[in-house]
């Protein structure tokens, strides 16, 4: 098994953290993992990407070539990914931040209103990344939810692990509900 995951958005949306949490969770599960991120010169606002490859075997090339899972949380990154990638991947979008192209063909466009849920539950969009990650984990089973919860506990030790764990749990729930529907229907249901 080898999965390539690409998180894409703007600087400041916590994409690096999403990648890191996912990568660490896979590390707990004794998988081979490579994770990298790229960013523009600006700390916030520039195009930002975070990549995670999780594999049962040694990873020769550590960057994403043919993503299995795409997560995009800004219009610019969405537009760029749509024009540059083929349609094999599962594409997670935040409909509150992106106006997706419904004509896209492929296995699935999954709309997760993470930012909206974050504001609803926590009063700020800061927790959207963990909600989105929860949904990704629920829908793809790329790692076990317990592994992620454990990593969040470690990584946010000094900050607020509980809130982040709650956000992740909300994401898991949203993802779990979404998985009840066929993927195509899911996309249609949201609009």
Partner 1 sequence: MPRRISINHDLCRGCNLCLEMCPKQVFQESSEIGAAGFRLKQVALPDECTACGLCELYCAGAISLEPLPPEEFADIMAQEERRTSTGQRRGGWKEVDSLLEPGRYFMAGNEAVVEAALAAGCEFFAGYPITPANEILEGMSRRMGETGGRFIQAEDEIASVYMILGASWAGLKAFTATSGPGFALMQEGLSLADMAEIPCVIVNVQRAGPSTGQATRPAAMDMREARYGSHGGVQRIVLYPDSVQEVFDMTIEAFNLAERFRTPVILLSDGYLSHLAEKVAVSGCVKVFDRIYVPGRPAFGPTSDSSVPSMPRFGDGENVVATGSTHDVSGKRSTTNPTVQENLVFYLNRKILEHREELVDCEELFLDDAETAVVAFGTVGRSAKWAVKEARKLGRRVGLLRPRIVYPFPSQRIKELCRTVNQFVVPEMSQGQMVHVVSEKVARDVVSLPQPNGQIIDPRRILKYLVEGVW
How far is residue 138's CA from residue 145's CA, in Å, rounded to a whole number?
Answer: 8
How far is residue 125's CA from residue 2's CA, in Å, rounded to a whole number?
Answer: 31
How far is residue 18's CA from residue 116's CA, in Å, rounded to a whole number?
Answer: 18
CB atoms closer than 10 angstroms to residue 57: 9
Shortest spacing between CB 164 and partner 1, in angstroms: 18
**Window contacting partner 1 (CB under 8 A); options: 39-47, 94-102, 125-133, 181-189:** 39-47
| HEC sequence for 12-50 | CCCHHHHHHHHHHHHHHCCCEEEEEEEECCCCCCCEEEE
**Window contacting partner 1 (CB under 8 A); options: 30-38, 78-86, 98-106, 156-164:** 30-38
Is residue 144 within the footprint of partner 1 (CB under 8 A)? no
Exactly one of 12, 29, 39, 80 binds partner 1 (CB under 8 A); which one? 39
> Which residue is it, tokens 């529907």?
181
Exactly one of 2, 9, 22, 27 binds partner 1 (CB under 8 A); which one? 27
Q: Which is nearer to partner 1, 2 or 189 (CB)?
A: 2
Is residue 36 within the footprint of partner 1 (CB under 8 A)? yes
Residues 55-84 that bind partner 1 (CB under 8 A): 59-63, 65
How far is residue 111's CA from residue 109's CA, in Å, rounded to a whole number?
Answer: 7
Exactly one of 1, 41, 157, 158 binds partner 1 (CB under 8 A); which one? 41
Tokens encoding 31: 């998988």
Residues 6-25 that bind partner 1 (CB under 8 A): 20, 23-24
Q: Which residues bind partner 1 (CB under 8 A)?
A: 20, 23-24, 27, 32-41, 59-63, 65
């Amino acid at each position: 098994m080898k999965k390539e995951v690409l998180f894409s958005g703007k600087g400041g949306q916590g994409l690096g953290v999403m990648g890191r949490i996912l990568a660490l969770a896979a590390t707990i599960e004794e998988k081979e993992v490579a994770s990298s991120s790229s960013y523009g010169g600006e700390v916030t606002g520039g195009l930002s990407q975070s990549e995670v490859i999780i594999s049962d075997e040694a990873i020769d090339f550590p960057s994403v070539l043919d993503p299995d899972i795409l997560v995009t949380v800004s219009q610019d990154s969405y537009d760029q990914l749509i024009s540059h990638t083929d349609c094999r991947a599962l594409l997670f979008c935040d409909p509150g931040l992106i106006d997706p192209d419904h004509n896209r063909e492929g296995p699935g466009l999954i709309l997760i209103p993470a930012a909206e849920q974050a504001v609803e539950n926590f009063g700020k969009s800061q927790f959207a990344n963990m909600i989105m990650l929860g949904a990704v984990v629920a829908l793809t089973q790329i790692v076990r939810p317990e592994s992620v919860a454990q990593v969040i506990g470690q990584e946010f030790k000094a900050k607020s692990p509980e809130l982040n764990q709650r956000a992740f749990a909300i994401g898991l729930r949203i993802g779990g509900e979404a998985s009840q529907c066929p993927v195509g229907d899911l996309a249609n249901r949201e609009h």
